[in-house]
Amino acid sequence: MALVLRPPAGATAVATAAALLADHKATLAALYQLTGTSAAQFDALYRPLVERLAEWVQRLPSLIEPKQTLLSERLFSAERALSRRRGVFLPPGAEPERIAYEADVWTYAVFSIALLRALGPTLARWQVTLYVTQQQWRWLPWQASMQEAGAQYYHVKRRNLANERDTTPLIAHHMVPALAQNWLWD
């Protein structure tokens, strides 16, 4: 008989991005409108980042508002940042031609920063234990999403850290689509 390791009470099933984002359709529609991009461009650049973020943060609680999820908090932050982006000419003091030429890339930069800013230290505040049928292990978010790590469930416990390292760049490279990375680098 095989040993079956059961996740502790309060463990949460690892969900797909589609399931996690189902409750955020209105926010996604608002983000699409605020980007001012075509549907094809949004689906190629913006949506993959949102989906990867959802896969990574799952239903982890927000540090700011515990009744809210980290995903909801980050999507709201992106919506607010894109709203503020409207009417702001970036880069400051640039020629109008340059501002027009770079408008889309600046919008994407604002969007991605709003979603990813200080994500590493935020995730470090949670001790996340992953579970499958016969195993459990501590999640290291800079290596893979919970789903990619093969987890079926996860359990979250708050950690009190005095000084956490910012692993955001290690995580962000997994989330930002290669097409967007190339575009930002250009």
Tell me whether residue 148 is in a domain.
yes
Question: In angstroms, rounded to a whole number, what is the distance separating the alpha carbons of residues 57 and 59?
Answer: 6
What is the pLDDT at residue 53?
A: 98
Number of domains in the chain: 1
Domain that holds residue 165: 24-185
Residue 67 parent element (H or E): none
What pTM value is reported for the model? Answer: 0.90
Tens of pLDDT, residue by residue, the chain (186 residues): 455 567 778 899 999 999 999 999 999 999 999 999 999 999 999 999 999 999 999 999 999 888 899 999 999 999 999 999 988 989 999 999 999 999 999 999 999 999 999 999 999 999 999 999 778 899 999 999 999 999 999 999 998 876 678 899 999 989 999 899 888 887
Asked whether 85 and 110 are in contact (CB, 8 A), the reply is yes
Tell me whether residue 1 is in a domain.
no
Tell me whether residue 45 is in a domain.
yes
List pLDDT tens digits, range 92-135: 999 999 999 999 999 999 999 999 999 999 999 999 999 997 78
Question: In angstroms, rounded to a whole number, what is the distance separating the alpha carbons of residues 107 and 113?
Answer: 10
Tell me whether residue 7 is in a domain.
no
User: Which CATH number is 60's domain given?
Assistant: 1.10.3210.40
Tell me whether residue 97 is in a domain.
yes
